[in-house]
Amino acid sequence: MTKEILCFTLPIAILLCSRANDEDQSAYDLPPLTVRAGGILVSKESIENLSGNSRLLELPGSSPSLAESIDSVAGVQMQRRGANALEPNVRGLGGDRIGLYWNGVYLPNASPTQTASPLNYFGPGSIDRVRIASSSAQVSLGPPYAGGSIDLLNEIELEDGVQGGLWVDGGRDGYSAFAEWNGAHPKTQYSFSANTVDLGDYTGGNGEVVDADFQSEGVSAMARHSVDSESELKLNTVFHRIKLSRNSSLPLDTRASELFAISLRQELKPGESGFSIRNRIGFSRSLPRLDNRDRLGAPILVEAKADTRSTTVGSLVEFSAADRFDVVAGADLIWESRDATRFRHTPKGVLQDRLWPDISSVDAGAFARSVYEVNDDCEFRVGARLGRRKSELGDAQAKALINGSLADNFIRYNDIEILDTERREWLGALNASLAMQAGEHMEATVGMAWARSAPSVTQRFRGFVNALGGGFELGNPALLAEESYRVDGRLDWNYSQARASLTVFHQRIDDYVNRAVVGTLGPNRVYGFRNVDGRFWGMELDAVLKPFGEASSMSVPIAIAIAEGENRGSGVRFADVPPLEGRAGLRIEPSGPESGWWGELDIRFAGRRSNPEPDLTPIFEDSASYATLELRGGVELSPYLQLEFTLSNALDKTYYHYLQPPVTSGSIQPSSGTLSPGDRIPAAGRSLLLSLNWKR
């Protein structure tokens, strides 16, 4: 496959680059593409990832939900366990295939039920930027992930003053709020913020009431200190507590769950040589708690408690090796541990079984990447990483839900003769891309990549968990590492009346970890994981049109994303790939951003999607195509006060997210609402969100 990629991409790249050089064009700096979608600004940014496929999102005060904000970006959808437990899916790849970081610190999904994605643990005002890297072959943030990475950032330059926001959500009879105090001095900047969220149930377009209570609170702090002109320190810390989160698709709700994280970063720039050193160290701990304490129909009280920790250390140097030739090199280490236990309170006493039996992993790697400017119109990027991972099952003899120990069940259901409780493997990544000015108004980028990614410790060592859709799920310690080969290209256009970016990609993944039926337990199926060969492909289009000229107050943002994936052996599509999705809008902002008011009409649409394997993945049901209308606007009441509104699903349509499983089956019912076990969960109907943001 690598030879095929080389033969296909390099001649095209060389031809385009040569053409740019022959025309002797002057350097042309494309401004970033900006699309306003769902209350956030989406900017394309060229960083070290393959083909520059990274988006940098700036989160202004108009969006109280971090996960919902990211969900509004084309190419990113959320897999849901209910209204509040959202987990990102990028280009058809989700779960543990997405590396999630906060200011450079790795944050794992800390719950065996996948309900504790860190995106759900950050309240309004706690994050100001999000970087989404949709490449599998990143080299310098940590080990490669098949679906790329998401980095939550606090990087905005601070000014003296206070700011805050209040959102009143009529659709969920609740509110979100945050307050922040900032200080700025010649050498020091600091910030303290607090947030709280209290939301209730919502009603779908069909009148069904969905159990969706969510209550959380959190605090965060940041300090940035310039020791001198050559050294800077950045300290970030966050603590967030989810008091209650209803998970309609699961038999357990999240309650009294906590996340703590701290990050310390140092940047050194000795002299005027352009040489710099960046060091980072950080720690996170997440304590998810789930129970069925007030769920209707629960025969006994069931609780699950997890303790997940991670430590991240990294260092890199950046320098110019020669004229037009910049190099970055470094190393990093990520340590992670997980432990989780389920408690069943029966009349005969409390029974315990392990969901994560003291599992851990250590990833260590070294990397280098470089940028070479061939000429003023052509740039070549290359990166490489080599790493080693150790994954370990600490307590193989821990009691399982049934049939003795976890070791007995791993052997029985995975056809393993000898259980290997310690896996060591080499991981790595290679990427190369070429960007060239292909005309006065167009820039072209073509790239290729290879990556070897380890299965998650959850996929390998998870104990018996109640599976969504019924049955049980069990890990497979014998899983092989995934190897991906990727080709993608991008065209960027920039005219006075239009800016657009079109990306196409194809990714082949050998030994892709896929869900499989591995046995039965009485009338219930037991699901596990097996390696298969897969491939993914698709396209993304982002554009902003100015039909009446660059100075016009009207613009038309457009975003469309298509992703497909299939098992290369059977030809059957993977069930967890989302449908086509997109947005188209009309925005009016008279006399620029300082005019005092703005308005936007936005249509969000998705194509139909059928589940190709309903027996294997019963959690996904066939979904019809839909389109919803959203109206937004804002007015500046004073230099310090801004009022905004969002009317979502203005036509009150009934529709369903494909990646939303139904209400959990069996006797356990939601604690409130009108839905019964097995019912589909509709998206929210018409709802009005009012926000008031201030800054002094």
Residue 529 bridge partners (DSSP): 515
Inform me whether the pLDDT recorded for 563 exceeds 90: yes
Looking at mean pLDDT, say which of 490-499, 540-549, 591-600, 622-631 comes out highest.
622-631
pLDDT for 32-51, tens place per residue? Answer: 333 333 333 333 333 333 33
Confidence class for position 400, pLDDT limits 50, 70, 90:
confident
Inform me whether the pLDDT recorded for 521 exceeds 90: no
663: exposed, middle or buried (C-beta count within 10 Å: 0-12, 13-18, 19+)? Answer: buried
* Weakest-pLDDT range from 72-76, 215-219, 416-420, 683-687: 72-76
pLDDT for 129-159, tens place per residue? Answer: 888 887 667 888 889 988 888 888 887 777 7
Tokens at 359, concatenated? 């599992």
What was the pLDDT predicted at 458? 83
Mean pLDDT of the chain: 85
In this prediction, residues 571-584 reach a mean pLDDT of 92
* Weakest-pLDDT range from 22-26, 247-251, 530-534, 629-633: 22-26
What was the pLDDT predicted at 63? 60
Question: DSSP letter at 492?
Answer: E
Inform me whether the pLDDT recorded for 54 exceeds 70: no
Tokens at 431, concatenated? 């990427």
In this prediction, residues 219-239 reach a mean pLDDT of 91
* Alpha-carbon gap, residue 284 to 657, rounded angstroms: 32
Is beta strand 325-346 parallel, antiparallel or unpaired with respect to 301-322?
Answer: antiparallel
Tokens at 646, concatenated? 């969002």
Query: Contact at 8 Å (CB) between 344 and 153?
Result: no
* Weakest-pLDDT range from 261-265, 312-316, 551-555: 551-555
* Alpha-carbon gap, residue 660 to 80, rounded angstroms: 5
In this prediction, residues 605-632 reach a mean pLDDT of 90
Question: Is the dihedral angle over the CA atoms 225, 227, 233, 235 positive or is it negative?
Answer: negative
Looking at mean pLDDT, say which of 173-177, 587-591, 661-665 comes out highest.
173-177
pLDDT for 195-204, tens place per residue? Answer: 999 999 999 9
pLDDT for 302-331, tens place per residue? Answer: 999 999 999 999 999 999 888 889 999 999
Looking at mean pLDDT, say which of 121-125, 135-139, 335-339, 403-407 comes out highest.
335-339
Inform me whether the pLDDT recorded for 21 exceeds 90: no
Between these two residues, 555 and 595, which has the higher pLDDT value? 555
Tokens at 23, concatenated? 């025309």
Q: Could you please report the per-residue DSSP string of 277-338?
A: EEEEEEEEEEE-EEE-TT-BT-SSEEEEEEEEEEEEEEEEEEEEEETTEEEEEEEEEEEEEE
Tokens at 385, concatenated? 């990483």
Query: What is the SS3 string spanning 233-269?
Result: EEEEEEEEEEEEECCCCCCCEEEEEEEEEEEEEEEEC
* Alpha-carbon gap, residue 370 to 383, rounded angstroms: 6
Is beta strand 465-466 parallel, antiparallel or unpaired with respect to 482-495?
Answer: unpaired
In this prediction, residues 50-70 reach a mean pLDDT of 59
Confidence class for position 55, pLDDT limits 50, 70, 90:
low
Query: Contact at 8 Å (CB) between 312 and 104?
Result: yes
Best CA proximity match to 589, nearest among 555, 613, 562: 555
Q: Could you please report the per-residue DSSP string of 653-680?
A: -----TT---SPPSS-B-SSSS--TT--
pLDDT for 336-374, tens place per residue? Answer: 999 999 999 999 899 998 888 899 999 999 999 999 988
Q: What percent of the chain has pLDDT over 70?
A: 90
What was the pLDDT predicted at 618? 83
Best CA proximity match to 44, nearest among 134, 124, 154: 134
- Its pTM stands at 0.89
Confidence class for position 405, pLDDT limits 50, 70, 90:
confident
* Alpha-carbon gap, residue 686 to 653, rounded angstroms: 8
Q: What percent of the chain has pLDDT over 90?
A: 47
Inform me whether the pLDDT recorded for 278 exceeds 60: yes
Between these two residues, 247 and 29, which has the higher pLDDT value? 247
Would you say how long the chain is, in residues?
A: 696
What was the pLDDT predicted at 62? 53
Best CA proximity match to 628, nearest among 661, 604, 610, 597: 604
Inform me whether the pLDDT recorded for 215 exceeds 90: yes
pLDDT for 643-660, tens place per residue? Answer: 989 999 999 999 999 888
Inform me whether the pLDDT recorded for 486 exceeds 60: yes
Inform me whether the pLDDT recorded for 375 exceeds 70: yes
* Alpha-carbon gap, residue 639 to 695, rounded angstroms: 8
Inform me whether the pLDDT recorded for 207 exceeds 90: yes
* Alpha-carbon gap, residue 191 to 220, rounded angstroms: 8
**Amino acid of residue 688:** L
Confidence class for position 291, pLDDT limits 50, 70, 90:
very high
Give the three-state DSSP class for 432: strand
Q: Where is 601: in which H helix or E strand?
A: strand 597-606
Query: Contact at 8 Å (CB) between 155 and 128?
Result: yes
What was the pLDDT predicted at 213? 95
What was the pLDDT predicted at 307? 95
Inform me whether the pLDDT recorded for 216 exceeds 50: yes
